[in-house]
Structure 1
Amino acid sequence: MYSSKKDYTGQDLFIGIDTHARQWKITIRTRNTILRTLSINPKPKDLLTFLHNQYPGAHYSSVYEAGFCGFWIHRQLLDYGIHNIVVNAADVPVMHKEKDRKDDKIDSSKLARELSKDNLIAIYVPAEQQQQLRSLCRVRFKIMQNMTRVRNRIKSHLYFNGIDMPSRSETNHWSARFIAWLESIEFSHQPGKDCLELYIEELKEHRARLLKITRLLRHYAQQAHLSPIFELLYSVPGVGFVTAVTFITEIMDIARFQTFDQLASFVGLVPSTSSSDEKKTEKGITKRRNCYLRHLIVESAWVAIRKDPVLLAKYDNLCRYMKKQEAIIRIAKKLLSRIRCVWLNRQPYVIGVD
């Protein structure tokens, strides 16, 4: 008897998923033909049910762009037997008309097309515990940003009301003595005093949260048996707990970078270049970076040149023909290379060795 039921046994289907909170736009295709584009509920289980009902027996491969939805979708799709990858949106090849007429349908179709051509490179997906530890570390970074904003508001409020700040050495670290001085300031009218007190109260709240998060990070780092890696990174001049925990939570597995250039590109210590024929133009350091790591490695480089004579000699030599800010970027890249060697070889840093 003739059966109208479709059979896709052995066929490869590629699914591009444009994720949103309310619904997903998905495109299903073979290597040569788009089969269907539709909207579904934003649940991996619903996608699996639809595929089994409409395209039974096929081998399913899917892709979505990293973003607000994290990696829980990826993990569930893998559990359901769908080969999924997560990609950086900036790495997806795009045609001009797809930029000019962008919508969810085009985005999902583009992902499915490039997946079928094997043009997409999957990003690293950390384990759940690693991901949550990284999120906690990033909260610390956000609190530091909030503290900086509050400090700037306090300084602006004082300047606006004609109150002189102490010397820069007093305001660099905002010590308890400096906070006490702020609290002792008198204004001609009470609203000005109230405004300052509210700013100081907010600053103290951020400081308390910062202390709590730092303690939590130390606790969870010990639970995750990361102490050996911390000890290795501590041997690097300029690397303390904050830098070490940020590197560990952002990188997770140093071996995933097969070359140093890949690590430097991830951190953002590579030049942005434009070349055509024999003409090559360098536009300075790339704008694409890990925003949590690049500034830390540069700060560490400033400390390292004061502790390692070899790095200091290299820095002094670079300063002969470039600006100090450019020279320290070169030192930061060299320091990053040494961090990679320390981490990979499980050997502590040796000061004074070129």
Structure 2
Amino acid sequence: MLHDHPSVGPTAIRTQFGAIFVSLELSRSKWVLTSLSPGNGEKMSQYSLAAGDVGGLLARFADLKRKAKERTGSDYPIMTIHEAGLDGFWVHRVLQDEGIESHVVDAASIATSRRRRRAKTDKIDGEALLRALLAFKRGEPRVCAMVVAPSPEEEDRRRLCRERQTLLDERIVHTNRIKGLLFAQGISDYAPLRRDRRKRLEGLRTGDGRPLPVHLKTQISRELDRLELLIDQIRSVEAEQEAVLAAESKAAPEAGSGPEKAVSEAEPRNAVAMLLTVKGIGDHSAAILWSEGLSRQFSNRRQVAAYAGLAATPWRSGAVMHEQGLSKAGNPRLRTLMVQLAWLWLRHQPESALARWFNARGERGRKGSIVALARKLLIALWKYVTQGVVIEGAAMKAAT
């Protein structure tokens, strides 16, 4: 990785990496490039271009390579870094297709000044990204957290679960709006999700015995139109999701029928089918677990907990020692699901080792204990689908 090349005098920044380093500040209106080239000392150059101008970006890269060759007589590759954000990963994929080494960094993992009033400009941010990339390439530990970009297929696989949750949230909004409008008229027993919602709307009377006002009734009818459209879309998404799950688990081997039977390492495993065999995990939970978390590669259990935002954040300095709670820095969808699954686990798996551990802690600190159980359960499920280690005492569904 290190290459010697002629340098222009002593410099404070070592650039003997045999590469041109470029940071990209991406926004809706413009892209700001900050570059550090061999043979240019410690000077960082900046350049701006219109957002989305991939042709201009590649032309700028070619110009940087040409100037570096004129100064040093050698060709150098380009290494880029930009923050994970609104642009997703399409810029990263374009750069990789062009043979450019691209890195996507978690912006929250880069150390910044802790002053209350700190300066923040595109120039400062671009230089900070460059320094983080240089330190990362030097092999400095924990200098920043690079994001593992999903493939287009993996990214698309998550759409169904996320769309379903978005539709459910919208359904809740319209349902609560209808109930609120009727409650202001003294009606509290109307259920907008019932099949006979239209028929019941015609016979409603206000709390003082009047029929519903004309404009209010018309407004509620329009709300029901939107609600019924959402219900139909939710059914379509759920049917598509079930078809995908069936296709993924079609050729899966039997995952075992008892806690003593673990899947052999030599057997091929299908994670979705294995999750569906665990009592207490349904189709939608298995889909979210797989698409949002367990489909990714993790090196150890700490990475699993950290990705879900279920890792602890201690505060220890001298004699001061206390916990700040969850980091909440990971995937919020996976974290929410795991807390829900933890409560379901206590109901459907009361004889499991995890449930016995939770019950042994008693009623005190029940809220904190359920989060700890969610973390333990996620790690146990990760070991189950990756290594075939069945959760101790867990009950499996009857074979169909």
- Alignment pair present for 1:257 and 2:294: no
* Greater Cα offset, 194-203 or 219-228: 219-228
* Structure 1 residue 247 displacement after superposition: 1.8
1:72/1:207 Cα in 2 relative to 1: closer, same or farther (>3 Å)?
same
> What is aligned with 1:83?
101
Mapped contact 1:140–1:213 kept (Cα < 8 A): yes
- Alignment pair present for 1:272 and 2:272: no
CA distance in 2, matches of 1:64, 1:106: 14
Task: Give the secondary-structure state (helix, strand or coil) at the position aligned to 2:189.
Answer: coil
* Structure 1 residue 332 displacement after superposition: 1.4
- Alignment pair present for 1:53 and 2:72: no
- 1:331-350 correspondence to structure 2 within 5 Å: 331-346=373-388
* Greater Cα offset, 115-124 or 213-222: 213-222
> What is aligned with 1:129?
153
Letter in 2 for 1:89: A
- Alignment pair present for 1:216 and 2:240: yes
> What is aligned with 2:360?
317
- Alignment pair present for 1:64 and 2:107: no
- 1:2-41 correspondence to structure 2 within 5 Å: 11-30=18-37, 33-41=42-50
TM-score (structure 2 length as normaliser)? 0.76
Higher normalized helix content (fraction of residues)? 1
- 1:93-132 correspondence to structure 2 within 5 Å: 93-96=111-114, 100-118=118-136, 119-132=143-156
> What is aligned with 2:262?
none
Letter in 2 for 1:316: N
CA distance in 1, matches of 2:156, 2:220: 36
* Structure 1 residue 292 displacement after superposition: 0.9
> What is aligned with 2:260?
none
CA distance in 1, matches of 2:116, 2:83: 16
CA distance in 1, matches of 2:128, 2:17: 24
Mapped contact 2:294–2:382 kept (Cα < 8 A): no
CA distance in 1, matches of 2:117, 2:107: 13
Mapped contact 2:171–2:230 kept (Cα < 8 A): yes
Pairwise CA RMSD: 2.8
Task: Give the secondary-structure state (helix, strand or coil) at the position aligned to 2:313.
Answer: strand
* Structure 1 residue 276 displacement after superposition: 0.6
Q: Deviations over 1:242-297 (max 9, x none)?
A: 1111122222534x221112111111212332211132111223332311111111
* Structure 1 residue 240 displacement after superposition: 1.2
1:182/1:230 Cα in 2 relative to 1: closer, same or farther (>3 Å)?
farther
Letter in 2 for 1:28: S
> What is aligned with 1:3?
none
1:252/1:86 Cα in 2 relative to 1: closer, same or farther (>3 Å)?
farther
> What is aligned with 1:154?
178
Match among 216, 224, 227 for residue 200 of structure 1 = 224
* Structure 1 residue 25 displacement after superposition: 0.5
Task: Give the secondary-structure state (helix, strand or coil) at the position aligned to 1:117.
Answer: helix
> What is aligned with 1:294?
335
1:44/1:58 Cα in 2 relative to 1: closer, same or farther (>3 Å)?
farther
Higher relative contact order (CA 8 A, sep 6+): 1
Letter in 1 for 2:102: N
* Structure 1 residue 235 displacement after superposition: 2.4
Residue ranges of structure 2 left out of the alignment (5+ in a row): 1-14, 67-74, 137-142, 206-210, 253-269, 396-400
* Structure 1 residue 68 displacement after superposition: 1.2
Q: Deviations over 1:214-235 (max 9, x none)?
A: 2223334455678622111112
1:216/1:272 Cα in 2 relative to 1: closer, same or farther (>3 Å)?
same
Letter in 2 for 1:76: V
Residue ranges of structure 1 left out of the alignment (5+ in a row): 1-7
**What's the % identity of the aligned pairs?**
22
Mapped contact 1:266–1:290 kept (Cα < 8 A): yes
> What is aligned with 1:176?
195
CA distance in 2, matches of 1:92, 1:55: 28
Q: Deviations over 1:71-121 (max 9, x none)?
A: 111111011121101111111222347972222222222211211121333
* Structure 1 residue 348 displacement after superposition: 5.4
CA distance in 2, matches of 1:99, 1:239: 48
* Greater Cα offset, 219-228 or 233-242: 219-228
CA distance in 2, matches of 1:40, 1:269: 40
CA distance in 1, matches of 2:119, 2:309: 31
> What is aligned with 1:241?
283
Letter in 2 for 1:102: K
Mapped contact 1:15–1:62 kept (Cα < 8 A): yes
TM-score (structure 1 length as normaliser)? 0.86
Task: Give the secondary-structure state (helix, strand or coil) at the position aligned to 1:34.
Answer: coil
CA distance in 2, matches of 1:266, 1:153: 35
1:55/1:97 Cα in 2 relative to 1: closer, same or farther (>3 Å)?
farther
CA distance in 1, matches of 2:59, 2:279: 55
* Greater Cα offset, 61-70 or 275-284: 275-284
CA distance in 2, matches of 1:217, 1:229: 16
Q: Deviations over 1:1-24 (max 9, x none)?
A: xxxxxxx99832111101123321
Mapped contact 2:37–2:64 kept (Cα < 8 A): no
Greater C-alpha Rg: 2
